[in-house]
Amino acid sequence: MIEKERDHIVKLLTKAQRALRNKNTIVLKTLSDRTIHTASIYKDIDSIVVATTIYALSKIIEREKYKEYKEWPSFYNLAIKNLGLAAQNLKQNKIRQFRQRLVDIRKTANNFSSNLKGYIKEVFEKAAINKASRLYEHGVSFSETSDLLGISQWELAEYIGKTGIGDVNLGVTVPIKQRINFTKKLFEK
């Protein structure tokens, strides 16, 4: 991870922690989108994991029914705590601990006995597919995208097919007659 990107992720995690405390899903999604753009440029797996985690947290806190489960406060508080610890670890260049904090957020629900465990796992899986489609949209190849996020190409293709991301025609140009007329006007005087 490059120094400039590390500093960016530290700030991003701090903002994400604050947004999670305030239950601000819009800020969380915006932070995730900004990170996925940077991740597409550098193909940095840490940035991708941060973007996916933040996006998943935004989707989890916007679902009111999750808050009815007795394990909810535990998950919510540990997610806030681990975002802060991840930022602190990264700031101190403790990369292994930083990565572990992000894993801990995802694995917190593994200890739950209620349906919340399955719901949270599903949200994280769907978040990975969503962010993979965004990487693909930013120009990262199909196979590279699925490899970076650890999802199958089939899952990615299915999601992209539903969203229409692959339907964008990048080869649309101005009609020939219109280009000729434009060129003629350049030379008229």
Residue 124 has a pLDDT of: 84
pLDDT (tens place) for every residue of the chain, 189 residues total = 566 788 889 999 999 999 999 999 999 999 988 887 777 677 777 888 898 899 999 999 998 888 889 999 999 999 999 999 999 999 999 999 999 999 899 888 888 877 888 888 888 888 877 777 777 676 766 676 666 566 677 766 665 666 554 444 444 566 788 778 877 777 776
pTM score of the predicted model? 0.73
Are 32 and 51 in contact, with CB atoms under 8 Å apart?
yes
**Amino acid code (one letter) for 98:** F
Residue 34 has a pLDDT of: 84
Of 58, 103, 55, the residue nearest 76 (C-alpha): 58
**pLDDT, tens digit (0-9, with 9 covering 90-100), for 75-95:** 999 999 999 999 999 999 999
**pLDDT, tens digit (0-9, with 9 covering 90-100), for 92-130:** 999 999 999 998 998 888 888 778 888 888 888 888 777
Residues 6+ positions from 33 with CB-CB distance below 8 Å = 51, 134
Residue 167 has a pLDDT of: 41
Structure tokens at 13: 């995690």
Domain boundaries, the chain: 3-187
Residues 6+ positions from 29 with CB-CB distance below 8 Å = 55, 58
CB atoms near residue 92 (< 10 Å) = 11
